Amino acid sequence: MGLNGRSEAQQKFKRLRRIFLNRPTKVKAKEKNQPQKRTANQVQSMLEQAMDELQFLKKQEERALESQVRLIRESYALRLEVFQQQHLNKVAEIEDEMYAAIQNRHEECDATILAAAKKLQDQTQHALGNDLAMMNREPIDQQLDSSSVLTDSSSASQPK
């Protein structure tokens, strides 16, 4: 791009147009003096030259445009690759956090279950200990109860 935001082709075309339209008056005066055929040939030659220059500038601009489009595409493709990689990294990070949270929850549940099992085991052992103690005391109590019943019945059968 040129200084005024115009492409080189536009600037060259304007320059050629200015040259063609604003030729010095001497050249114009000479052309008036020359035969009409020669003037027409010169004009045609100048037009052909201008057309050739225009075609050259057009191709030059097309090549520049293709080059710029390629650079733009490469730039955006690179930005997209970076964004995709960042996206994949963020997805992996979130998945890692999710799996860590799941693992922590499993560990908490396992700890809760283990604590409940331990408490149940302690309660069961305590209850079994109490039952065992009761069973061990029961025959003595039953023997005492039986002997007192015998004592009571023997004293009831004896006259007073």
The full set of domain ranges for the chain reads 8-146
Distance CA 46, CA 28 (A): 14
* Structure confidence by residue, pLDDT tens digits, 38-67: 677 888 888 999 899 999 999 999 999 999
Short-list 95, 99, 97, 98, CA closest to 87: 95
Which of helix, strand or coil describes residue 160? coil
Give yes or no for residue 160 having a pLDDT over 50.
Answer: no
pTM above 0.75, yes or no: no
Residue with tokens 């549940």: 109
* Structure confidence by residue, pLDDT tens digits, 91-100: 999 999 999 9
Please tell me the least confidently modeled range out of 19-33, 69-83, 106-120: 19-33
- Regarding predicted confidence, which is higher, 90 or 22? 90
> If you average pLDDT over every residue of the chain, what do you get?
81
Distance CA 117, CA 121 (A): 6
Amino acid symbol at 80: L
What does the block give as tokens for 146? 């039986």
* Structure confidence by residue, pLDDT tens digits, 22-45: 666 555 555 555 566 667 788 888
Burial annotation 65-93 (CB, 10 A radius, 16+ → b, else e): eeeeeeeeeeeeeeeeeeeeeeeeeeeee
Distance CA 7, CA 63 (A): 13
Q: What is the pLDDT of residue 43?
A: 84
Residue with tokens 């536009």: 10
Q: What is the pLDDT of residue 12?
A: 78
